[in-house]
Structure 1
Amino acid sequence: MVQKYQSPVRVYKFPFEMVMAAYEKRFPTCPLIPVFLGSEVLSESASADGSTHVIERSCKLSVDAPRLLKKIAGVECVFFIQKNTLSWRDRTLLIEAHNETFASRVTVLETCSYSVHPDNESWTCFEQCASLDIKSFFGFENTVEKIAMKQYTANIKRGKEVIEYYLSELMSEGITEIPRWVPPAERSSPSKAASPPAAPSSEMPAAALAHQSPRLQMVSWGPDKLDADYIERYLGRLTPMQESCLIQLRGWLQETHKVKIPKDEHILRFLRARDFHIEKAKEMLCQSLTWRKQFQVDYILETWKPPSGLEEYYAGGWHHHDREGRPLYVLRLGQMDTKGLVKALGEEALLRQVLSINEEGQKRCEENTKIFGRPITSWTCLVDLEGLNMRHLWRPGVKALLRIIEVVEANYPETLGRLLIVRAPRVFPVLWTLVSPFINENTRQKFLVYSGNNYQGSGGLIDYIDKEIIPDFLGGDCLCQVPEGGQVPKSYYLTEELENLDHIRLWAETIYQSAQVSKGAPHEIMIEIVESSSVITWDFDILKGDMVFNIFHSKRTPQAVKREVSSSVPAVNNEQLIDRSWVLGVDYSIVESPLTCREGESIQGSHITRWPGIYILQWRACGPTHARVDEVLSSLQGSAPKCKVMYYTEVLASHDFRGSMTSLESCHSRFSQISVTTTSSSQSQDGSLISR
């Protein structure tokens, strides 16, 4: 597979000219980079006014690999071609490098740049991206890849340390400022002319340290960049490759989800949950983002109001923070009547309560990060099991607990920093046997269990929680406001009918619908427009497969063709409206250019209607637009791979925009596709906004 690296922006708090002088001191040899054996100038040129200097070199580097591999390859060193383009006028240095040795077997490309900080012209930014591709390497491709990536990541940050070392050396020599380059015409006299510093010599390409690595694919920066200091301050210390994974996944989300991308710490949690495997983290994160949108989880702290019975009998709450600054949540599970809570409130109410706790936990982590001045990305949970007995193993209650664990594991990974379980009774191993298979291995390793009263002394709670905040019910001096729980009165219990409909009542509260689409079987919805210049809006996510999105205006009223449901085939939402006998351009017409949508993308947009009548929104799999009804049913009931879309549409009258039509039409992103009939006048022509 292609191996990519993309660095955050690393900042030197020194002017560009000082950094270039430090860069020059690294050569011709640099003891701090022993693998760099030397270089030979291949070509060199400069502009007439001295503002630009270009130099190309062949750089020789030693091979740090097992002797057997070097013997098989027949080399002790490798050569890289490096081209440096220095602009004193623009104050930039661009370094491009590629391997010359084994070029037919391995391709390595690296691009580095030094430039002036956009917000402070006295600072210098450094950025680096690389791609590595192994085509073949004597049957040792996997071994070479591992060696290469290990060497590459071990030497990435060394480059910054080397520059900082030579900056310190310059200052010890009394050099604290170097004049900027000025054009010859602006120099008052030769004696006062500011000569530019010597052009930098060859930099040892960091990619050379990974000359053995995998396939080629360069990385381009997204619109927003991450600063290395920001990452360390707010997200924690990451390895170079972990930083790269974060930036790559963040960039992909910016491409596909635009303004709806989650916060950096949220993205990082999913990467950690999948050991920084980008594709696996992407899949997990996209499923979670879809889930959050479908059930409006982003708004749960504002919209969820726990029923009075839940506030009174749910024995859990936030209580200060642990020794590491993590928010501390206390749960008196042994005092809770889980059976009563499920019967009185329903499984879904308990799940929503847990989700609101997790959302609040993330909010408190952000606040504590600012308070303590270091990254706080998870919280600690203190669970008191005193009172736990066999009634807590009531089967429907355990089933509800398992479902809650499943939802939390899928959508809140790496949010639990530590789980402290105290006063675990003899029945606890039975409960643990039931729930532990549903808990991620990384999460299970964060569990600490104390039985009896051995939690109070050294090696117990005091190691993780300050003595001053240990709750009073655990022998501490701190008054804890967590409800005590207790038996839920049976008068609170739901009727059997309401209990059975509980999951329908709560989780049906979503504005989104889902549909499956197969080749030849598009999903279409009809929207009737009464007034011209109305606005059709949409928001949809491509959950599976690639699709094409179309909008049509119909002169005929369509008759829906739905899939016939059989007992052997699960029901799906799929409806076709455009009859195969209809003629495009006669019976119906396209009002927007088709938009191809890839799996994982999130699409939002709007269309300003020109005429009243019937509009049809269509999602179809990439392939034929129309099919016979029997082909449609066959496709749906057969084994053809299905695509899936989750969507929401709404029609707004033009006056609801209160004069903002012009603004709406001007908000086209680079993904927008505009109908050929669109003009600046929304009153006379159709207008649209299709953006990803």
Structure 2
Amino acid sequence: MVQKYQSPVRVYKYPFELVMAAYERRFPTCKMIPVFVGSEILAEFNSEDGGVTIIERRCKLNVDAPYLLKKIAGVEFVYFIQKNSLDRRKRILKIEAHNESFASRIGIVERCAYTVHPENTDWTCFEQSASLDVKSFFGFENAVEKVAMKQYSQNIKKGKEVIEFYINELLSEGITHIPLFEERKKLPEIKVTEGDKLLEATGQPPPESTQVDVNLKLESEYIERRLGKLTPYQESCLVRLKKWMAEAHQGKVPSDQTLVRFLQAQDYNLEKARENLCQSLVWRKKYQVDKILNSYNLPEVVTRYFPGGWHKHDRSGRPLYILRLGQMDVKGFIKSIGEEGLVKLTLHVCEEGLKKTEDTATKKGKPIYSWTCLLDLEGLNMRHLWRPGVKALLHIIEMVETNYPETMGLVLIVRAPRVFPILWTLVSTFISDNTRSKFIFYGGNDYQGSNGLQQIIDKECLPDFLGGDSQANICEGGLVPKSYYMSEEEYERERLQGNRLFDDSMYHSVSLGKGQVHEWTWYILVEPFLICHDGESVQGTHVASLEGTYVLQWRHLDTQHHHHSFDFPLHQHKAKVMYYYELLKSRDYKGSMSSLQSSHSAATFNSASEQSAVSNSTPR
């Protein structure tokens, strides 16, 4: 398996020329990097006007590997070939490196670039990417992979320190400014034909394209300030996930906080985080969750009897949500607004939480992307274990865990009665280990005093009914009057239909089995096939100007046998297809997908397949 690394943008608040002078001091050896034993120049090219310099070096490294591994490999040092291409006119340095030692067994490729900051020409940006492919190494492939990644992470941490060390050295010597190349030499630019030959002689592939929207790039200082201190590997996962989402969804990317939350939930397993995020975005699009804060009005029974609400913040600055669950008439709410109504209410609270954390992070200038939930269980009894209520609770927990991972910073449980262990046994298995670790339980009166809740919530922010100095504008709950109840017919209909969530869901859903097709009338221009492997999902958008009947077909491609266009075996392969379509006015379509201005395409970004579209099919 190929391991990949992609750094965020690291910014040096010094001009490019000064950074280059500091970089040159790293050779032939660098005392700041002990593993870098030395280097020799294999080839060097300078353009006639001095604007371009290309240097190829052979670098000698003393890798910090176990003695046994070095003994088996029969080497003490490993060698890398490094090629530096410096263009002083364009103010850019490109670095390519690959391993010479064990090249047939291990493939290590690194690419770096120093460029001028796009918004401040007196600053310099640095980016790097790398890939590691351990093909075979005497049966020690896993060990070699771990050693290589550990060594690389250590070098990444040292990289910025090294440049800053030599910059400070230059400053101490009185070198504070180096003129731009144009200021030093007023000669016409010359094409580097000989340099190109040198590049070809190395046998290395051209560097990967780095044409990425600067608005989608992340700076390391921004990550630490707004998202928290991440390891180099975690930063790499974040950068790669953001780039992938931008490519897959036409530049429309979830917030950086959202990306981090999904990565944290999967312990920075990039593939799992990406899969879960895509599924969640499809879910958000399907049920139009992005619109819930504006489209959903709290029913009167909720405003008058629901014992929960937002109230100030904890000591860490996280928004605080208080729910007096013991005072909640679960049966009354389900009889009044149904399970679907409770789900909508929960989504409304979760979306409010996302907005509050974002606003708080902006206001305080520090990473905050979760909130604290305070559950007051006084009054909890057996009536809360009513089976439909527990069923609705489990469904809500599953939905929140899947689509709002890592939004819960802490869950504080106070005044739990004897019946609570029964409820906890029922629900705890549906809560992830990571979320369960955030639960703090206060038995009896332990929540009181400076050693209780006040360790987490300042007394002036703690509600008065829990011994604090603040009056919380939270309903006391109580029994819901039966005048709010649905009729028996309405309740039975809601119960049988299950949780529809939203009546106006834009998606239609159909399951296709062997030999089945589904027809409907829509507008479509057929595009190339969307390839989807087992267990995966894909989204596609199709546009056309002619009305007609079209066939949506899920086809399993057998790569081992040739079949005619509509002669293929389906075996037991199944697919669930969700689709929607829009009718757009011709004046709103200006020839490109990004120019469609429809009610859906103009919506806020947070959707799985938000691609200005007239139809969207998602085979799964």
User: Structure 2-normalised TM-score?
Assistant: 0.87
Q: Secondary structure at the match of 1:509?
A: coil
Q: Which residue of 2 aligns with 1:127?
A: 127
Q: CA deviation at 1:100?
A: 0.4
Residue 401 and residue 664 in structure 1: after superposition, are their counterparts in 2 closer, same or farther (change >3 A)? same
Please say if residues 257 and 603 of structure 1, whose CA atoms lie closer than 8 Å, have aligned partners that are also in contact. no
Please say if residues 340 and 499 of structure 2, whose CA atoms lie closer than 8 Å, have aligned partners that are also in contact. no
Alpha-carbon deviations, 1:340-370, whole Å to 9, x = none?
Answer: 1112221111111111101100100000001
Alignment of 1:230-241 (within 5 A): 230-241=222-233
Distance 1:296 1:689 in 2: 16
Distance 2:209 2:224 in 1: 22
Alignment of 1:77-116 (within 5 A): 77-116=77-116
Residue 73 and residue 51 in structure 1: after superposition, are their counterparts in 2 closer, same or farther (change >3 A)? same
Alignment of 1:96-495 (within 5 A): 96-182=96-182, 186=186, 222-223=212-213, 224-495=216-487
Residue 288 and residue 85 in structure 1: after superposition, are their counterparts in 2 closer, same or farther (change >3 A)? same
Residue 131 and residue 259 in structure 1: after superposition, are their counterparts in 2 closer, same or farther (change >3 A)? closer
Distance 1:326 1:422 in 2: 19
**Large movers: runs of 4+ above 6 Å:** 688-692
Please say if residues 516 and 645 of structure 1, whose CA atoms lie closer than 8 Å, have aligned partners that are also in contact. yes
Please say if residues 245 and 251 of structure 2, whose CA atoms lie closer than 8 Å, have aligned partners that are also in contact. no
Please say if residues 10 and 227 of structure 1, whose CA atoms lie closer than 8 Å, have aligned partners that are also in contact. yes
Q: Which residue of 2 aligns with 1:608?
A: 545
Residue 68 of structure 1 aligns with an amino acid whose one-letter code is: L
Q: Which residue of 2 aligns with 1:571?
A: none
Distance 1:481 1:666 in 2: 45
Please say if residues 519 and 621 of structure 1, whose CA atoms lie closer than 8 Å, have aligned partners that are also in contact. no
Distance 2:101 2:615 in 1: 47
Distance 1:445 1:454 in 2: 19
Please say if residues 110 and 131 of structure 2, whose CA atoms lie closer than 8 Å, have aligned partners that are also in contact. yes
Q: Which residue of 2 aligns with 1:515?
A: 510
Distance 1:511 1:168 in 2: 59
Residue 471 and residue 690 in structure 1: after superposition, are their counterparts in 2 closer, same or farther (change >3 A)? closer
Residue 665 and residue 314 in structure 1: after superposition, are their counterparts in 2 closer, same or farther (change >3 A)? closer
Q: CA deviation at 1:163?
A: 0.5
Distance 1:505 1:132 in 2: 47
Residue 691 and residue 435 in structure 1: after superposition, are their counterparts in 2 closer, same or farther (change >3 A)? closer
Please say if residues 65 and 147 of structure 1, whose CA atoms lie closer than 8 Å, have aligned partners that are also in contact. yes
Residue 168 and residue 519 in structure 1: after superposition, are their counterparts in 2 closer, same or farther (change >3 A)? farther
Aligned length: 570
Alpha-carbon deviations, 1:50-70, whole Å to 9, x = none?
Answer: 111111111000021111111
Alpha-carbon deviations, 1:394-414, whole Å to 9, x = none?
Answer: 111111111110110010000
User: Structure 1-normalised TM-score?
Assistant: 0.78
Please say if residues 580 and 615 of structure 2, whose CA atoms lie closer than 8 Å, have aligned partners that are also in contact. no
Distance 1:257 1:666 in 2: 11
Residue 230 and residue 602 in structure 1: after superposition, are their counterparts in 2 closer, same or farther (change >3 A)? farther
Q: Secondary structure at the match of 2:322?
A: strand
Q: What is the RMSD computed on CA atoms of the aligned residues? A: 2.5
**Residue 596 of structure 1 is aligned with which of 530, 549, 556?**
530
Q: Secondary structure at the match of 1:448?
A: strand
Q: CA deviation at 1:500?
A: 2.9
Q: Which residue of 2 aligns with 1:642?
A: 574
Q: Secondary structure at the match of 1:248?
A: helix
Unaligned runs of at least 5 residues, structure 2: 188-206, 558-562, 597-612
Distance 2:81 2:429 in 1: 53
Distance 2:574 2:82 in 1: 48
Distance 1:662 1:250 in 2: 28
Bigger shift: residues 284-293 or 618-627? 618-627
Distance 2:184 2:595 in 1: 45
Residue 401 and residue 444 in structure 1: after superposition, are their counterparts in 2 closer, same or farther (change >3 A)? same
Residue 68 and residue 664 in structure 1: after superposition, are their counterparts in 2 closer, same or farther (change >3 A)? closer
Distance 1:593 1:450 in 2: 59
Distance 1:518 1:48 in 2: 69
Residue 506 and residue 94 in structure 1: after superposition, are their counterparts in 2 closer, same or farther (change >3 A)? closer
Bigger shift: residues 112-121 or 126-135? 112-121
Q: CA deviation at 1:146?
A: 1.6
Please say if residues 582 and 614 of structure 2, whose CA atoms lie closer than 8 Å, have aligned partners that are also in contact. no
Please say if residues 256 and 601 of structure 1, whose CA atoms lie closer than 8 Å, have aligned partners that are also in contact. no
Distance 1:221 1:149 in 2: 26
Please say if residues 322 and 380 of structure 1, whose CA atoms lie closer than 8 Å, have aligned partners that are also in contact. yes
Q: CA deviation at 1:597?
A: 4.9
Q: Which residue of 1 aligns with 2:29?
A: 29
Q: Which residue of 2 aligns with 1:684?
A: none
Alpha-carbon deviations, 1:25-70, whole Å to 9, x = none?
Answer: 2222222100000011111111111111111111000021111111
Q: Which residue of 2 aligns with 1:194?
A: none
Distance 2:318 2:116 in 1: 38
Q: Secondary structure at the match of 1:5?
A: strand
Distance 2:593 2:146 in 1: 51
Q: Greater Rg, structure 1 or structure 2?
A: 1
Give the structure with the higher percent strand.
Answer: 1
Q: Which residue of 2 aligns with 1:15?
A: 15
Q: CA deviation at 1:495?
A: 2.4
Distance 1:103 1:161 in 2: 30
Please say if residues 4 and 219 of structure 1, whose CA atoms lie closer than 8 Å, have aligned partners that are also in contact. no
Please say if residues 4 and 218 of structure 1, whose CA atoms lie closer than 8 Å, have aligned partners that are also in contact. no
Residue 664 and residue 282 in structure 1: after superposition, are their counterparts in 2 closer, same or farther (change >3 A)? closer
Please say if residues 520 and 621 of structure 1, whose CA atoms lie closer than 8 Å, have aligned partners that are also in contact. no
Distance 1:8 1:327 in 2: 29
Unaligned runs of at least 5 residues, structure 1: 188-216, 528-535, 537-550, 552-590, 669-687
Q: Secondary structure at the match of 2:415?
A: strand
Residue 325 and residue 179 in structure 1: after superposition, are their counterparts in 2 closer, same or farther (change >3 A)? same
Q: Secondary structure at the match of 2:29?
A: coil
Q: Secondary structure at the match of 2:169?
A: helix
Percent identical among aligned pairs is: 56
Establish whether residue 621 from structure 1 lines up as the match of residue 555 from structure 2: yes
Distance 1:5 1:126 in 2: 14
Q: Secondary structure at the match of 1:290?
A: helix
